Chain A
Amino acid sequence: GDSVTQMEGPVTLSEEAFLTINCTYTATGYPSLFWYVQYPGEGLQLLLKATKADDKGSNKGFEATYRKETTSFHLEKGSVQVSDSAVYFCALGASGGSYIPTFGRGTSLIVHP
């Protein structure tokens, strides 16, 4: 079945450091890919998405490119801030006839001043 593999956290960085959170997937067909962010005590917010191969999603300085050849959708940001501290979930949109998205385990990001 479909699956999403995210790097294990927590990822701990200093402010202004470069961020990469790895995400790879296994899927039937060509699903859309998403990154969600969950700040402490809140629900999930859609951060960015890509609907087809080679698409780049971007929002709030975060970027991710849909790489079909490596089945990856890594999240990057050039300079993180303390306010970026949160849990980040990679998610696979529906594929193979199922409309239920698949979430990765989540990666906690902690940014120190």
Chain B
Amino acid sequence: DTEVTQTPKHLVMGMTNKKSLKCEQHMGHRAMYWYKQKAKKPPELMFVYSYEKLSINESVPSRFSPECPNSSLLNLHLHALQPEDSALYLCASSQVYREGYGYTFGSGTRLTVV
């Protein structure tokens, strides 16, 4: 299995809703990442987990809450989002958290906040 699987593929939520994005990989990778990508822009890093511990939070608002329950699974909990949070949310993984290893990206969850 050489994939990163993200669910759901599409999500529409209201500003008062609570929802979660899920990411799963079975490649034995020990680093997992959340990225946010707006249309026609490169992905922007949100969070990094290394060995199931949060290593980096790129000053992301608290309405986004990451969770790494085990080495294969990464969640992003969403609460009280704003319309400007609408974007493609990408999960990625790599063998370890160091340079020289390319990431494997999932196909993303396209989120629309109404």
Contacts and interface: CB of A to CB of B under 8 A. Distances in A.
A31 B45 CA distance: 18
A34 B102 contact: yes
B103 interface: yes
A103 B98 CA distance: 16
Contact of A105 (B6, B41, B45, B99): B41
Interface string A30-70: 01101010000111111001010000000000000000000
B99 A94 contact: yes
B99 A95 contact: yes
Given A104-B42, A105-B42, A44 B105 contact: yes
**Interface residues of A, dominant DSSP:** loop
A49 B40 CA distance: 23
Size category of the binding interface on chain B? 20 to 34
24 contacts: A31-B99, A32-B100, A43-B4, A43-B6, A43-B105, A43-B106, A43-B107, A44-B105, A46-B102, A49-B102, A51-B100, A89-B42, A93-B100, A94-B99, A95-B99, A99-B48, A99-B99, A100-B56, A103-B42, A103-B43, A104-B42, A105-B41, A106-B40, A106-B41
Interface of B: 4, 6, 40-43, 45, 48, 56, 88, 90, 92, 97-100, 102-108
The 9 closest A-B CB pairs, nearest first, are A94-B99, A103-B42, A93-B99, A43-B105, A46-B102, A44-B105, A43-B107, A43-B108, A32-B100
